[in-house]
């Protein structure tokens, strides 16, 4: 929270389309595209980051990085750096649980 | 057993035992299931030319026949780009040298995560081998109100499917039944397996829907515990507490156990010695073999303790959280959070630390961690540091009662080792081990209770691997060192150490080490300390005619005559950086499955140690003049 306050990421938030890094804790998005090397994209897809599936930001590690995401039944920790290359479209408002 | 009908008799292995491969994604509980099936009847092996390990275990099928189960690495897919997955593909196609093509495959999936894990099942079934699909963790699925229609799934996949739990043992009779019949190869399925991961994934979701798959809810405890363990204040505090506990465990519990074991080895050595006639043979057995074996065995308590702690952290799910917390700090060095615990353990001993790097999936990060681990100040350096510091640095208060000059010197050496590790990591990660292909992607398993049986099997496994593989190398070097100190003989008697081969080596390297202010006696110490760093103390004692164990004060006096202050500083710096430990080298060789890495590591660390010691010698000399 403090991290977000200091670095003010609110104003960079997209209305509908953006990247995973832009989502805040509790928000959800639909994976659109992985703009990453084939092998990394493949690994992420094996974990569930498949275009069309819903991903939610579960929580952020101490200091704001890495963050823990949930796709279907799997929770995966990714660095912010990597999550900038995962394009998503925002789903609804912030919601906890499913 | 040979009369058993086998689908492809020409591919049967020599012993006539049916071979069945076990495959599954990470976090599918495959290893627990495998251990449950084979128990202690398994052995570990390396495939030729790769670092990937496999286990072969034996299990009796429903008709009482032996079947060999081959445990393959945990993989998500059959993409030949990753080493683990390439090995699995080669084994499944029967292309791995020394491994017959399996007669059948068992695919272990996590039933709580079916849509993701069915991708692997689809790809394996498409290979055309008789396949059994096991949906593991059935107990969790039921508890969390998930469900799946096993029969419908079996119809969809064209293979037998069973809902099992490796923890409770539920449904495992399906495995024994599968192993006792020669199952037909699966009907050719319309699997989009040649397609992209995305299309296979879509197929998996459709199959899951047809089988009425209902994903279970996340265990509420996992959420609650993560609220604490990944909390922005409590998380790091608990992490620190765990770190201190691990460190304390290895230092405070491991060291006394090691001393007890050492005492016991000395006693039994004395018994064996008393039973043997005096002479060269006794000397070889006691001073060569027994001490060599002893130098390996004394590491066991530390290794087992560390693996017990890491095993508990890993199986409970906390290790993944610890990696998330440590990641921010480790990323500054170019490594990731998974390297933290191994590097921490290296402060006790590099040997278990290097074995602990197995939890790092990225090969490059793992090698980088292995290469920098020996720079951490291990417990074997302490006796050397203590002795030299006590001999050369007057004990004065530096910061009142908090810090004496000696403690500051000791602390300085710890910092020195750490800085060199960070420096080396930076160089490695920006050159030969640069890994933009392996970013930090970490699956967070739910919290679970560790299973004692599973932990125990892993301890036995690691202990055996260490004793057999590292032990053989260390024993060989010990015998060579023994020979070097006991030859050439005079009138059938071993020479005094100053007339032995090892002394000649000391004299031979004297020109090289003279610029550091070392004489030939230190040279001999450097050679013998290859067995273990602290051996230099005993060697210098012998060379100066002093029993170091009885009278360390006399040895300190002798050292002051032998070394100038700059040379003493150079010696400390040399020990901080040099790879004076064949146990570590043997373990690096084992863990990387190559001689190249330990050789490169030895060369690098020796060069760094030499240059730094040379610089330290001259800087100190400049300051006191």
Q: Which ipTM score applies to this complex?
A: 0.79
First to last CA, chain B: 82
Work out whether strand B53-60 and strand B42-46 pair parallel, antiparallel, or are unpaired: antiparallel
Q: Residue A98 pLDDT more than 60?
A: no
- Is there a contact between A43 and B436 if contact means CB atoms under 8 Å apart? no
Q: For B147, which DSSP code?
A: B
Measured between CA atoms, how close is A50 to chain B, in angstroms?
A: 6
**Band of pLDDT at residue A11, cut at 50, 70 and 90:** very low
Query: Least CA distance to B75: which residue of chain A?
Result: A46
Work out the percent of chain B whose per-residue pLDDT is above 90: 20
On chain B, the residues whose CB falls within 8 A of the CB of A66 are: 324, 327-328, 440, 442
Measured between CA atoms, how close is A1 to chain B, in angstroms?
A: 9
Q: Residue B444 pLDDT more than 70?
A: yes
Beta-ladder partners of A28? A56, A91
Measured between CA atoms, how close is B423 to chain A, in angstroms?
A: 23
**Band of pLDDT at residue B12, cut at 50, 70 and 90:** very low
B32 touches A: beta carbon within 8 Å: no
Least CB–CB distance from B215: residue in A1, A43, A72: A72
How far, in Å, CA of B290 to CA of B283, rounded? 10
Q: For B77, which DSSP code?
A: S
- Is there a contact between A82 and B441 if contact means CB atoms under 8 Å apart? yes
Measuring CA to CA, which residue among B33, B38, B45 is closest to residue B66? B38
> Looking at residue B181, what is its pLDDT?
75
Q: Residue B21 pLDDT more than 90?
A: yes
Work out the percent of chain A whose per-residue pLDDT is above 70: 77
In 3-state terms, what secondary structure has residue A78?
strand
Work out whether strand B53-60 and strand B161-163 pair parallel, antiparallel, or are unpaired: unpaired
In 3-state terms, what secondary structure has residue B421?
helix
Measuring CA to CA, which residue among B330, B366, B356 is closest to residue B250? B356
Q: Kindly provide the b/e burial profile for residues B109-128, where b requires at least 16 CB atoms within 10 angstroms of the residue's own CB.
A: bbbbbbbbbbbbbbbbbbbe
How far, in Å, CA of B108 to CA of B35, rounded? 13
Q: Residue B373 pLDDT more than 90?
A: yes
Q: Residue B225 pLDDT more than 90?
A: yes
Q: What is the pLDDT of residues A17-59, one digit of tens each?
A: 789 999 999 999 999 999 988 878 888 888 889 888 899 999 9
Q: Report whether A29 contacts A69 (CB < 8 A).
A: no
B436 touches A: beta carbon within 8 Å: yes
- Is there a contact between B81 and A39 if contact means CB atoms under 8 Å apart? yes
How far, in Å, CA of B545 to CA of B558, rounded? 10
Domains of chain B and CATH, by start: 9-216 (3.40.50.300)
On chain A, the residues whose CB falls within 8 A of the CB of B236 are: 62
Measured between CA atoms, how close is B607 to chain A, in angstroms?
A: 36
The pLDDT of B333-360, averaged and rounded, is 80
The pLDDT of B545-571, averaged and rounded, is 77
Work out whether strand B441-444 and strand A74-78 pair parallel, antiparallel, or are unpaired: antiparallel
The reported pTM is 0.77
Measuring CA to CA, which residue among A17, A9, A18 is closest to residue A65? A9
How far, in Å, CA of B461 to CA of B356, rounded? 13
What are the C-alpha distances in Å from B268 to residues B109, B261, B280, B296, B481? 49, 10, 19, 15, 22
On chain B, the residues whose CB falls within 8 A of the CB of A74 are: 113, 116, 443
Between B263-267, B278-282, B381-385, B539-543, the lowest mean confidence (pLDDT) is in: B539-543
B203: phi then psi, degrees, rounded to nearest 5: -60, -45
How far, in Å, CA of B558 to CA of B561, rounded? 5
Measured between CA atoms, how close is B165 to chain A, in angstroms?
A: 18
B519 touches A: beta carbon within 8 Å: no
Q: Residue B189 pLDDT more than 80?
A: no
Query: Least CA distance to B443: which residue of chain A?
Result: A76
Q: What is the pLDDT of residues B283-327, one digit of tens each?
A: 788 777 777 677 667 778 877 887 788 889 888 989 889 989 988
Beta-ladder partners of B397? B404
What are the C-alpha distances in Å from B80 to residues B88, B121, B132, B250, B551? 9, 16, 23, 39, 61
List strands edge to edge, sheet with A86-91. Answer: A17-19, A86-91, A28-34, A54-60, A67-71, A74-78, B441-444
How far, in Å, CA of B348 to CA of B378, rounded? 5
> Looking at residue B538, what is its pLDDT?
73
- 10 Å CB burial of residue B482 (0-12, 13-18, 19+) is buried
- Is there a contact between A68 and B441 if contact means CB atoms under 8 Å apart? no
Among B324, B337, B361, which would you mutate to test the A interface (most chain A Cβ atoms within 10 Å of its Cβ)? B324
Q: Mean pLDDT in chain B?
A: 82
The pLDDT of B88-111, averaged and rounded, is 89
Measured between CA atoms, how close is B28 to chain A, in angstroms?
A: 12
DSSP assignment string, B466-523: IIIIIHHHHHHHHHHHHHHHH-S-BTTBPPPGGGSHHHHHHHHHHHHHGGGT--HHHH
B299 against B617, higher pLDDT: B617
How far, in Å, CA of B598 to CA of B579, rounded? 10
B355 against B254, higher pLDDT: B355
> Looking at residue B5, what is its pLDDT?
39
The pLDDT of A81-97, averaged and rounded, is 75
How far, in Å, CA of B158 to CA of B128, rounded? 11
On chain B, the residues whose CB falls within 8 A of the CB of A76 are: 441-444
- Is there a contact between A73 and B236 if contact means CB atoms under 8 Å apart? no
Measured between CA atoms, how close is A96 to chain B, in angstroms?
A: 12
On chain A, the residues whose CB falls within 8 A of the CB of B214 are: none
> Looking at residue B133, what is its pLDDT?
94
How far, in Å, CA of B65 to CA of B410, rounded? 61
CA atoms within 13 A on the CB side of A29: 27
**Band of pLDDT at residue B615, cut at 50, 70 and 90:** very high
Q: For A23, which DSSP code?
A: P
Please name the residues in contact with B583: beta carbons below 8 A apart, sequence gap of 6 or more.
B295, B296, B299, B351, B470, B474, B532
On chain A, the residues whose CB falls within 8 A of the CB of B231 are: 62
B491 against B335, higher pLDDT: B335
What are the C-alpha distances in Å from B499 to residues B478, B491, B505, B513? 19, 13, 11, 20
What sign has the CA pseudo-torsion B272, B273, B278, B280? positive
Q: Report whether B454 contacts B32 (CB < 8 A).
A: yes
Between B68-77, B212-221, B484-493, B518-527, the lowest mean confidence (pLDDT) is in: B484-493
CATH of A2-91, one of 1.10.2020.10, 3.40.50.300, 2.30.30.90, 3.30.365.10: 2.30.30.90
> Looking at residue B48, what is its pLDDT?
63
**Band of pLDDT at residue B106, cut at 50, 70 and 90:** very high
H or E, element range at A4: helix A2-7
Q: Residue B8 pLDDT more than 50?
A: no
> Looking at residue B548, what is its pLDDT?
54
Measured between CA atoms, how close is A43 to chain B, in angstroms?
A: 8
- Is there a contact between A66 and B440 if contact means CB atoms under 8 Å apart? yes
B577 against B218, higher pLDDT: B577
How far, in Å, CA of A36 to CA of A47, rounded? 15
Query: Least CA distance to B317: which residue of chain A?
Result: A75
On chain B, the residues whose CB falls within 8 A of the CB of A70 are: 218
Tally of CB atoms within 10 A around B602:
20
The pLDDT of B557-581, averaged and rounded, is 90
- Is there a contact between B441 and A61 if contact means CB atoms under 8 Å apart? no
Between B70-84, B180-194, B210-224, the lowest mean confidence (pLDDT) is in: B180-194
The pLDDT of B156-181, averaged and rounded, is 88
Q: Residue B7 pLDDT more than 60?
A: no
> Looking at residue B50, what is its pLDDT?
61
């Amino acid at each position: 929270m403090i991290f977000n306050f200091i670095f003010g990421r609110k104003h960079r938030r997209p209305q509908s389309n953006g990247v995973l890094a832009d989502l805040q804790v509790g928000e959800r998005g639909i994976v659109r595209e992985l703009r990453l090397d084939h092998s990394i994209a493949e690994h992420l897809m094996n974990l569930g980051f498949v275009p069309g599936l819903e991903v939610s930001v579960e929580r952020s590690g101490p200091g704001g990085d890495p963050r823990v995401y949930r796709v279907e039944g799997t929770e995966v920790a990714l660095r912010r750096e990597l999550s900038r290359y995962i394009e998503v479209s925002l789903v609804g408002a912030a919601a906890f649980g499913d | 057993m040979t009369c058993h009908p086998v689908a492809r008799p020409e591919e049967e292995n020599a012993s006539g035992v049916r071979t069945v491969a076990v495959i599954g994604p990470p976090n599918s509980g495959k290893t627990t299931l495998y251990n449950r099936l084979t128990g202690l009847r398994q052995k570990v092996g390396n495939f030729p030319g790769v670092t990937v390990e496999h286990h072969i275990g034996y299990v009796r099928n429903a008709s009482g026949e032996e079947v060999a189960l081959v445990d393959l690495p945990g993989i998500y897919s059959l993409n030949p780009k990753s080493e683990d997955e390439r090995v699995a593909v080669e084994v499944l196609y029967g292309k791995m040298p020394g491994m017959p093509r399996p007669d059948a495959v068992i695919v272990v999936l996590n039933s709580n995560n079916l849509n993701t894990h069915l991708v692997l099942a689809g790809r394996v079934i498409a290979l055309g081998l008789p396949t059994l699909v096991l949906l593991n963790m059935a107990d969790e699925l039921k508890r969390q109100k998930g469900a799946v229609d096993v029969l419908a799934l079996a119809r969809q996949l064209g293979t037998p499917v069973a809902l099992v739990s490796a923890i409770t043992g539920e449904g495992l009779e399906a495995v024994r039944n599968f192993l006792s019949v020669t199952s037909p190869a699966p009907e050719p399925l319309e699997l989009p397996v040649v397609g992209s991961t995305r299309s296979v994934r879509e197929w998996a979701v459709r199959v899951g829907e047809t089988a009425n798959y209902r994903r279970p809810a996340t265990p509420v405890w996992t959420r609650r515990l993560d609220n604490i363990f990944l909390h922005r204040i409590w998380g790091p505090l608990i992490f620190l507490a765990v770190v201190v506990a691990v460190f304390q465990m290895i230092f405070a519990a491991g060291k006394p156990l090691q001393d007890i074991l050492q005492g016991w080895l000395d006693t039994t050595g004395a018994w064996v010695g008393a039973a043997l006639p005096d002479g060269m043979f006794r000397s070889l057995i006691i001073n060569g073999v027994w001490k060599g074996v002893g130098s390996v065995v004394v590491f066991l308590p530390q290794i087992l303790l560390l693996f017990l702690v890491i095993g508990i952290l890993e199986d409970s799910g906390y290790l993944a959280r610890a990696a998330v917390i440590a990641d921010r700090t480790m990323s500054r060095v170019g490594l990731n959070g998974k390297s933290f615990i191994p590097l921490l353990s290296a402060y006790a001993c590099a040997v278990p630390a290097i074995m602990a790097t197995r939890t790092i999936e990225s090969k490059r990060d793992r090698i980088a961690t292995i290469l920098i681990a020996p720079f951490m100040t291990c417990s074997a350096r302490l006796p050397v540091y203590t002795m030299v510091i006590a001999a050369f640095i007057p004990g004065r208060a530096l910061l009142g009662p908090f810090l004496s000059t000696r403690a500051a010197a000791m602390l300085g050496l710890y910092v020195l080792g750490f800085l060199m590790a960070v420096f080396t990591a930076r160089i490695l990660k920006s050159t030969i081990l640069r890994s933009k292909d392996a970013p930090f992607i970490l699956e967070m398993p739910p919290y679970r209770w560790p299973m004692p049986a599973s932990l125990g099997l892993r301890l036995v496994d690691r202990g055996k691997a260490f004793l057999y593989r590292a032990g053989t190398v260390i024993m060989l070097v010990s015998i060579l060192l023994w020979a070097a100190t006991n030859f050439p003989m005079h009138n059938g008697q071993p020479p005094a150490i100053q007339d032995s081969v090892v002394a000649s080596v000391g004299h031979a390297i004297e020109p090289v080490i003279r610029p550091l202010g070392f004489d030939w006696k230190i040279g001999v110490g450097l050679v013998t300390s290859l067995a273990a760093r602290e051996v230099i103390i005993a060697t210098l004692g012998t060379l100066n005619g002093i029993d170091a164990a009885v009278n360390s004060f006399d040895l300190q006096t002798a050292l002051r005559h032998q070394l100038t202050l700059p040379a003493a500083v150079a010696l400390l710096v040399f020990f901080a950086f040099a790879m004076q430990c064949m146990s570590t080298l043997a373990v690096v060789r084992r863990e990387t499955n190559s001689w190249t890495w330990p050789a490169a590591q030895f060369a690098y660390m020796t060069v760094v140690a030499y240059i730094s010691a040379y610089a330290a010698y001259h800087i100190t000399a400049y300051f006191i003049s």
